[in-house]
Amino acid sequence: MLNIRHHIGLGELTTFGCSALAEHAVVVTNFQDLQEAVAFAHDKGLAMRVLGSGSNVLLTGDVSGLVIINHMHQRAECVDRRDVHIRFGSGENWHDAVTWTVHKGWSGMENLALIPGTVGAAPMQNIGAYGVEQASIFEELEAFHFDSGEIRKYVAADCDFGYRTSVFKRELRDKVMITSVTYRLSLDPKLVTSYRDVQEELAAMSIIEPTTLDIYNAVVSVRTRKLPDPRIIGNAGSFFMNPVITSEQASQLLEKHPTIPNYPQADGTVKVAAGWLIEQCGWKGARHGSCGVHDRQALVLVNHGGAVGSEVLELAENIQRSVADTFGITLVREVNVW
Ligand code: FAD
Ligand code: NAP
């Protein structure tokens, strides 16, 4: 029997840690739970939202409707001559999944080590780090549609993966729950070492010809050193996305600000480091009531204790305004605001 609870605190279920209540909340561990939860919501006319590990959600007020907390676990693998196809239940912990595959000797997820969250949320914003996006290993997923009760299969072409986006973050937001994701990993590693931090870490480890495990260890080590641990200080990772601008805009910007870190993309656009822009505007380490900007990574907003969502949004808007005034660039939020 499904245990639907009422007026449940959600703050501790998110890494930012701002307090809010869910009108109704339920933990689902399998498909039958999900069907029953959705039937309950339909019966009462409630909107539904899925919560994974809450590492990319900022709570700004109580949440009406039903919050479906995803604990759907599963791992099933199928190995062919060169590839491994692994179907993960969407409630699997992402980093545990990465660690498991790396220790099996399978390659493809290693650059994405230590990203918090569930497997089911990974396609949502097409998670990425150190030059790799989940899209590069994605094979297919299954999503349960709340309105029709249908389970539909999505291959990569259906997902419209882009830079920290997908159809699940846009058109299908809050309309489906991703229930499983299948990744295709390789027995024949194609390693990505294009990011300076990874190269420097490998050099510090005296590794010249890295293995999949070496890259994984290097990423874990850099991330542990550089990024704020949500268990110690509340945060949701990068609060904003790195802006991607046209090459003409980039040339004009670089004429005025020649030191902006910028990365030309394959399609001719140019990605600009948002953290650098924020830092140049003097925000690194700044405080705003109980929240603030992290003192080592200006792209991360933090909860110093007791911050409420509205004051975090106020800080974010102040940052957006000053970056727009100084550089003429509009920063777009990456975090999902509830
Ligand atoms: P949640 O925060 O619970 O949910 C995020 C959104 O996805 C919500 O809108 C939710 O409704 C929706 N959602 C969740 N699960 C499902 C599902 N099964 N079906 C449909 N919708 C769903 N992100 C990166 O891309 N790269 C990084 O390197 C990275 N580093 C981070 C470092 C830190 C310290 C932190 C705190 C965050 C970081 N993130 C990073 C952001 C975050 O980890 C990812 O976005 C992650 O995929 C979120 O997973 P989650 O389970 O916590 O999702
Ligand atoms: P970093 O290495 O200091 O680099 C700053 C920014 O420059 C990054 O955002 C990155 O863009 C870009 N960059 C750096 N080297 C690049 C290269 N060789 N080619 C293209 N772009 C390059 O960044 P960091 O803050 O320490 O984070 C390291 C990695 O973890 C990044 O990939 C970042 O996206 C990821 N991360 C993401 C989150 C999140 O919440 N989304 C949180 C923490 C870390 P990209 O962001 O596009 O890679």
- pLDDT tens digit string along 176-192? 999 999 999 999 998 99
What is 75-186's CATH number? Answer: 3.30.465.10
**Domain extents in the chain:** 5-70, 75-186, 234-337
Atom of ligand 1 nearest to the CA of 236: 36
CATH of 5-70, one of 3.30.43.10, 3.40.50.300, 3.40.640.10, 3.20.20.450: 3.30.43.10
1 or 60: whose pLDDT is higher?
60
pLDDT in tens, 270-319: 999 999 999 999 999 999 999 999 999 999 999 999 999 999 999 999 99
pLDDT at 82 over 90: no
Question: Does the beta carbon of 49 sit less than 6 angstroms from any atom of ligand 1?
Answer: yes
> Rounded to whole angstroms, how far apart are CA atoms 187 and 79?
9
CA 56 to ligand 1 center in whole angstroms: 4
Q: Are 317 and 335 in contact (CB under 8 A)?
A: no
Question: Does the beta carbon of 129 sit less than 6 angstroms from any atom of ligand 2?
Answer: yes
| Residue with the two structure tokens 């299969």 | 153
pLDDT at residue 151, as a whole number: 97
Residue nearest to atom 7 of ligand 2 (CA): 273
Closest CA to 297 of 241, 234, 236, 227: 227
Question: Does the beta carbon of 52 sit less than 6 angstroms from any atom of ligand 1?
Answer: yes
E runs forming strands in 228-327: 234-238, 244-245, 262-264, 270-272, 287-288, 291-293, 300-303
Question: Does the beta carbon of 53 sit less than 6 angstroms from any atom of ligand 1?
Answer: yes
Atom of ligand 1 nearest to the CA of 55: 52
% helix, strand, coil for the chain, step of 5: 30, 30, 40
Atom of ligand 1 nearest to the CA of 120: 18
Atom of ligand 1 nearest to the CA of 51: 3
Span 248-258, average pLDDT? 94
pLDDT at 255 over 90: yes
pLDDT at residue 2, as a whole number: 87
Q: Which of 88, 115, 125 to mutate to test the pocket of ligand 1 (most atoms within 8 A of CB)?
A: 115
Q: Is 164 tagged catalytic? A: yes
CA 248 to ligand 1 center in whole angstroms: 33
What is 234-337's CATH number? Answer: 3.90.78.10
Largest CA distance in the chain: 64
Q: Is 231 tagged catalytic? A: no
Share of the chain above pLDDT 70, in %: 100
Which one from 90, 164, 201, 221 is the annotated catalytic residue? Answer: 164
CA 55 to ligand 1 center in whole angstroms: 5
- How much is the mean pLDDT over the chain? 97
CA 142 to ligand 1 center in whole angstroms: 18
Amino acid symbol at 54: G
pLDDT at residue 323, as a whole number: 98
The β-bridge relationship of strands 48-51 and 63-70 is parallel
Q: Is 186 tagged catalytic? A: no
pLDDT at residue 268, as a whole number: 94
Question: Does the beta carbon of 40 sit less than 6 angstroms from any atom of ligand 2?
Answer: no
Categorize the per-residue pLDDT at 1 as very low, low, confident or very high, splitting at 50, 70 and 90.
confident
CA 204 to ligand 2 center in whole angstroms: 20
Ligand nearest to the CA of 236: 1
Residue nearest to atom 6 of ligand 2 (CA): 273
pLDDT in tens, 137-188: 999 999 999 999 999 999 999 999 999 999 999 999 999 999 999 999 999 9
pTM metric for this prediction: 0.97
Question: Does the beta carbon of 230 sit less than 6 angstroms from any atom of ligand 1?
Answer: yes
Span 192-197, average pLDDT? 96
Which one from 133, 142, 201, 334 is the annotated catalytic residue? Answer: 334
Instruction: Tell how far CA 167 is from the center of its chain.
Output: 15
